[in-house]
């Protein structure tokens, strides 16, 4: 296997320079908070779609996911296949509604739809969730890349963190979106080169199918059970996560049609994942059935060496220079995720905390300045957390995985379905969060359930109290006896379920706590119903006004291009950047390459130049048509 050399370092350095250049370019377009956080709702749908695609990758895709595929075989391809379905379903569920909220923060609408308690709780939870996950993703990327590149891990972490911080601070959502497109081109180009090269190691796809074990739907990986129920739980989490968590991608485009296109494009792009990220690790499992016998993996034995199989393949198959491109692709995946985190969390702080609680009369220009400061602070916090993580043996990673799993469903259910259900009262979101959270804690830490059943039941409970809140509130006013019987029935059913599904030793404290939690859930239905019933006609009028806005189509001429604003040109910038990066890569031909390596490099450079040229030519024509349509 090859090692990283000077050409790889030059590729990565050039990549960083380009990212900063894009941030500087778009600094001039940010006149206020709406441009900084929502792109003035002028971001092209294809750009937003690529951003949604890229925001869900990090170095984990090349490492943890690759190790999972190496160990579970064809089952991992089913997991990767769920991504496309989930993103399509989730986006079509709420995309047009998000656009009609006219928001610049993903939790902004919850103040009107629910109440300030819901808005602030969701805001803090989402911000904490994203900041912690950002620190982990940056740490995991640098922990992987530093040894491969032979650099100090703390220095790598600081450099990468500061670069992301700078171009996000300068360019806002425009810089995030455009860099994601460029990063997406790099990511897909290098993975589509690795795929056929990897298959060539085993004699093609048909030979790989012949040599691989048959599909199994039951796997134990690193002490965790993975089966059909887990796949279903992933489908639920990702569908609702898209419906609620991809809001910024939907309200940043021109209209409802474009918002739906964003989801469709992301869903189509995710169809590539089973092939480009799933097949190479399967090849590795065939050519390296025992990693302890392969020199590259020997230092990592006992430390999940299977997580490095994708990197091992790239070091074996790619020429120097393209190894640098691959490392840049890994950085691109993490950088796109983190830049989205910085901008999204700063929008929550600016719109929901600063303007919502501290200074409601803030001007748009003031919010822009607050947002930029917030981006810097958030970036520094994430970078500081990453430095701590890479130099610590503290088990924060497992702790946060449990934290995210517990909070995901309770948070996304009310955020997503609050846009759809018109009659649910303002306190329904709090009820949904409490029921989902208590169910998750009970099934995970008391009953010791696997992730799949835990997530499914948390969804059923969270969605159940949310969707029926109008009727239980009405029942509280009209027939408290019937409501009491229903609450008692819920408690009994849950007590029987919990009491008969304990996993592991039957300890008395677990059995008692399971029954107590079942009674608490059932009894809380009656208590929440009293809150649901207390909604006033004035509060209902506010909700009706909110849904009136959601029923009103976006007037693009007036709302987006009002006051003579013009569409920002993006196709030539992305196309030109891609062409220049491709031409810079061609400088590697001046080095000593074998014939096979020259073919690989020629293919990569051709992809970059041809794709950039097509984007420049056809994109310019598309922008002219849009200008004539909206301004003509």
In a domain, 470, yes or no: no
Question: At 257, which CATH number?
Answer: 1.20.1730.10
* 417 has a pLDDT exceeding 60: yes
Domain end, chosen from 368, 390, 412, is at: 390
**Residue 600's pLDDT band (cuts 50, 70, 90):** confident
Query: Mean pLDDT in the chain?
Result: 81
Q: Is 511 exposed, middle or buried (0-12, 13-18, 19+ CB in 10 A)?
A: middle
Q: What is the pLDDT of residue 222?
A: 73
CA distance 600 to 547: 55
CA distance 503 to 441: 14
**H helix count then E strand count, the chain:** 27, 2
Question: Of 303, 41, 14, which Cα lies nearest the Cα of 147?
Answer: 303
Looking at per-residue pLDDT, the higher value among 22 and 192 belongs to 192
Q: What is the pLDDT of residue 472?
A: 95
Q: Is 541 exposed, middle or buried (0-12, 13-18, 19+ CB in 10 A)?
A: exposed
In a domain, 416, yes or no: no
Domain end, chosen from 373, 390, 407, is at: 390
In a domain, 463, yes or no: no
- Extract the tokens encoding 176: 């995030």
* 521 has a pLDDT exceeding 90: yes
The total domain count for the chain is 2
Q: Residues 489-504: what's their mean pLDDT?
A: 91
Q: Residues 231-238: what's their mean pLDDT?
A: 89
* 33 has a pLDDT exceeding 80: no
Residue holding tokens 């009659």?
423
* 74 has a pLDDT exceeding 90: yes
Q: What is the pLDDT of residues 179-190, one digit of tens each?
A: 777 777 777 778
In a domain, 530, yes or no: no
Q: Is 78 exposed, middle or buried (0-12, 13-18, 19+ CB in 10 A)?
A: middle
* 312 has a pLDDT exceeding 50: yes
* 40 has a pLDDT exceeding 70: no
Dihedral sign from CA coordinates of 222, 224, 227, 228:
negative
Q: Residues 299-303: what's their mean pLDDT?
A: 75
Looking at per-residue pLDDT, the higher value among 481 and 41 belongs to 481
In a domain, 197, yes or no: yes
* 56 has a pLDDT exceeding 90: no
- Stretch among 3-7, 15-19, 364-368, 626-630 having the lowest mean pLDDT: 626-630
Indicate the pTM of the whole model: 0.80
Q: What is the pLDDT of residue 396?
A: 45
Contact 314, 191 (CB under 8 A): no
* 395 has a pLDDT exceeding 50: no
Residue ranges making up the domain that contains 90: 6-390
**Residue 494's pLDDT band (cuts 50, 70, 90):** very high
In a domain, 630, yes or no: yes
In a domain, 61, yes or no: yes
Domain end, chosen from 363, 390, 417, is at: 390
In a domain, 217, yes or no: yes
Which ranges of 468-594 would DSSP assign to H, the alpha helix? 469-478, 480-499, 508-533, 537-550, 571-585
**Identity of the highest mean pLDDT range in 71-80, 238-247, 292-301, 604-613:** 71-80
């Amino acid at each position: 296997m090859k090692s990283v050399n000077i050409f790889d370092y030059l590729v990565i350095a050039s990549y960083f320079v380009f990212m900063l250049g894009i941030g500087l370019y778009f600094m001039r377009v940010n006149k206020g908070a709406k441009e900084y956080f929502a792109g003035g709702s002028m971001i092209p749908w294809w750009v937003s779609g690529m951003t949604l695609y890229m925001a869900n990758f990090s170095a984990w895709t090349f490492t943890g996911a690759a190790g999972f595929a190496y160990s579970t075989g064809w089952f991992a391809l089913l997991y990767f296949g769920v991504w496309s379905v989930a993103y399509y379903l989730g986006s079509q569920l709420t995309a047009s509604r998000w656009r009609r909220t006219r928001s610049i923060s993903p939790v902004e609408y919850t103040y009107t739809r629910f109440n300030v308690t819901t808005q602030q709780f969701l805001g803090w939870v989402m911000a904490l969730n994203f900041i912690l996950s950002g620190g982990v993703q940056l740490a995991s990327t640098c922990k992987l890349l530093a040894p491969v590149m032979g650099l100090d891990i703390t220095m790598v972490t600081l450099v990468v963190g500061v670069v992301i911080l700078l171009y996000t601070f300068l360019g806002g959502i425009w810089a995030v979106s455009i860099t994601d497109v460029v990063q997406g081109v790099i990511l897909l180009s290098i993975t589509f080169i690795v795929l056929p090269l990897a298959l060539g190691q085993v004699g093609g796809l048909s030979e790989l199918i012949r040599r691989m074990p048959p599909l199994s739907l039951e796997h134990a990986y690193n002490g965790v059970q993975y089966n059909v129920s887990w796949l279903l739980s992933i489908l639920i989490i990702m569908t609702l996560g898209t419906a609620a968590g991809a809001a910024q991608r939907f309200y940043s485009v021109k209209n409802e049609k474009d918002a739906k296109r964003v989801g469709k494009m992301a869903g189509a792009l995710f169809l590539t994942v089973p092939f480009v990220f799933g097949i190479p690790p399967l090849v590795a499992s065939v050519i390296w059935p025992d990693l302890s016998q392969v020199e590259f993996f020997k230092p990592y034995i006992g430390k999940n060496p299977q997580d490095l199989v994708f990197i091992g393949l790239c070091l074996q198959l790619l020429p120097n220079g393209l190894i640098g491109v691959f490392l840049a692709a890994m950085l691109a995946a993490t950088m796109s995720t983190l830049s989205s985190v910085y901008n999204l969390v700063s929008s929550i702080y600016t719109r929901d905390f600063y303007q919502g609680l501290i200074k409601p009369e803030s001007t748009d220009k003031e919010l822009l300045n607050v947002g930029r400061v917030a981006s810097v602070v958030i970036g520094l916090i994430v970078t500081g957390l990453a430095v701590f993580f890479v130099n610590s043996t503290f088990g924060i990673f497992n702790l946060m995985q449990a934290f995210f799993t517990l909070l995901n469903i309770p948070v996304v259910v009310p955020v997503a379905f609050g846009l759809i259900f018109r009659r649910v009262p303002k306190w329904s979101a709090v009820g949904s969060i409490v029921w989902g959270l208590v169910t998750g804690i009970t099934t995970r830490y008391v009953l010791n359930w696997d992730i799949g059943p835990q997530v499914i039941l948390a969804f059923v409970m969270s969605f159940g109290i949310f969707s029926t809140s109008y009727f239980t509130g009405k029942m509280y006013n009209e027939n408290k006896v019937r409501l009491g019987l229903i609450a008692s029935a819920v408690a009994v059913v849950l007590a029987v379920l919990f009491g008969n599904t304990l996993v592991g030793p039957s300890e008395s404290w677990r059995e008692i706590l399971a029954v107590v939690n079942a009674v608490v859930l059932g009894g809380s239905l009656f208590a929440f119903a009293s809150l649901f019933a207390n909604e006033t006609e004035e509060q209902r009028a506010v909700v009706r006004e909110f849904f009136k806005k959601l029923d009103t189509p976006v007037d693009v001429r007036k709302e987006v291009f009002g006051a003579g604003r013009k569409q920002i040109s993006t196709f030539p910038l992305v196309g030109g950047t891609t062409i220049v990066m491709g031409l810079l890569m061609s400088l590697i031909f001046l080095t000593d390459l074998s014939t096979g390596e020259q073919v690989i490099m020629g293919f990569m450079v051709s992809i970059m130049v041809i794709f950039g040229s097509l984007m420049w030519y056809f994109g310019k024509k598309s922008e002219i048509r849009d200008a004539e349509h909206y301004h003509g």
